[in-house]
């Protein structure tokens, strides 16, 4: 039987066991209580309170504007909904790049105020000291390499990363550095599938991909993208499992129609 079917609460240790047993890890984002409740009950292994909340929930063009206070608000809402999944919370832009002490303080606020289970931060060797310092306080850390959206103004584009040998070599080195620093898992975003599979084969910790092919240890998608709530974003790696844009539009249109036609509420829908 797969590990995840018999588990009441997912821990970093269980994720390690899943990798060892070849069982793929499922991960989705969530930012609020109601969605997190559904996602958790449906059996997801990891819920990421991603800084993609900046785009999805607040309508910003990038992930940069979201604040630590706002991330704590989203994380607290998700944590209150979750019984089983491991909840990972993104450290937002500007809350950890300054120095490792600031990184630790930000991580502690997320753990204390939102009662989260772990944090995620973007970058390789440049965040090694921060990863070690956060871990020294007993806080599990997930890494994130490849396309790291907090660096969008450095990259200039959301295109596939590490296609050239030099960047690929640096990414492999960074993955090893994060593992040695103590990360319990790493997200690889939008890189060639062969490179992602190589990282997964070389490392002992789970590698979770988004746009990184099937040769890694797990997959993550942004919930609103895979549910088809956002129908403007169609990268090749995205599989849509529903078209909630159409479902919600039709429900709202019908409601408006019924109200205007004085059909809602009817006799049995009033006191």
Site residues (vs ligand KIV, CB under 6 A): 29, 48, 50-52, 90, 187, 189, 210, 220, 222
- Provide the minimum distance between the beta carbon of 186 and ligand KIV in the complex, in angstroms, as a whole number: 11
CA proximity to 120, closest of 142, 100, 102? 142
Helix (H) or strand (E) holding 182: none
- Provide the minimum distance between the beta carbon of 147 and ligand KIV in the complex, in angstroms, as a whole number: 9
Look at the block and give the residue holding tokens 């206070």: 69
* Cα four-point dihedral sign 63, 64, 70, 73: positive
Which is nearer to ligand KIV, 45 or 189 (by Cβ)? Answer: 189
* Residue 189 appears among annotated catalytic residues: yes
Q: Cis omega (within 30 of 0) on the bond before 263? A: no
Pair of tokens at residue 2: 């797969």
- Provide the minimum distance between the beta carbon of 146 and ligand KIV in the complex, in angstroms, as a whole number: 10
Position of minimal CB gap to ligand KIV: 50
CA proximity to 55, closest of 191, 188, 153, 150? 150
Q: Are 190 and 160 in contact (CB under 8 A)?
A: yes
Select which of 189, 202, 232, 253 is catalytic: 189
Which is nearer to ligand KIV, 147 or 177 (by Cβ)? Answer: 147
The DSSP call for residue 269 is G
Alpha helices by DSSP H, listed for 80-120, are: 100-113
Which is nearer to ligand KIV, 148 or 179 (by Cβ)? Answer: 148
Which is nearer to ligand KIV, 159 or 166 (by Cβ)? Answer: 159
Helix (H) or strand (E) holding 88: strand 86-90
Which is nearer to ligand KIV, 123 or 260 (by Cβ)? Answer: 123
Q: Are 217 and 18 in contact (CB under 8 A)?
A: yes
Q: From CA 213, how far away is CA 198, in angstroms rounded?
A: 11
- Provide the minimum distance between the beta carbon of 255 and ligand KIV in the complex, in angstroms, as a whole number: 31
- Provide the minimum distance between the beta carbon of 22 and ligand KIV in the complex, in angstroms, as a whole number: 22
Pair of tokens at residue 118: 């772990």
Which residue numbers are catalytic? 189
């Amino acid at each position: 039987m797969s590990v995840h079917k018999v588990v009441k609460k997912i821990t970093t240790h269980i994720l390690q066991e899943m990798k060892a047993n070849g069982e793929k890890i499922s991960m989705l984002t969530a930012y609020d209580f109601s969605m997190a409740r559904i996602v958790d009950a449906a059996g997801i292994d990891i819920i990421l309170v991603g800084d993609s909340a900046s785009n999805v929930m607040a309508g910003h063009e990038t992930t940069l504007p979201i604040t630590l206070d706002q991330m704590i608000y989203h994380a607290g809402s998700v944590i209150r909904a979750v019984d089983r999944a491991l909840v990972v919370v993104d450290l937002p832009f500007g809350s950890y790049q300054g120095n490792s002490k600031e990184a630790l303080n930000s991580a502690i606020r997320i753990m204390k105020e939102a009662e989260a289970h772990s944090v995620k931060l973007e970058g390789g060797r440049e965040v090694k000291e921060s990863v070690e310092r956060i871990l020294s306080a007993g806080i599990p850390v997930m890494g994130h390499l490849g396309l790291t959206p907090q660096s969008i103004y450095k990259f200039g584009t959301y295109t596939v990363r590490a296609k050239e040998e030099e960047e690929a070599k640096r990414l492999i080195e960074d993955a090893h550095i994060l593992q040695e620093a103590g990360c319990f898992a790493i997200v690889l975003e939008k890189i060639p599938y062969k490179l992602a599979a190589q990282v997964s084969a070389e490392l002992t910790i789970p590698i979770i991909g988004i746009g990184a092919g099937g040769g890694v240890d797990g997959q993550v998608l942004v919930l609103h993208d895979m549910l088809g709530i956002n129908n403007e974003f169609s990268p090749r790696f995205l599989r849509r499992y529903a078209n909630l844009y159409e479902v919600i539009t039709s429900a709202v249109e019908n409601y408006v129609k019924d109200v205007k036609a004085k059909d809602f509420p009817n006799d049995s829908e009033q006191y």
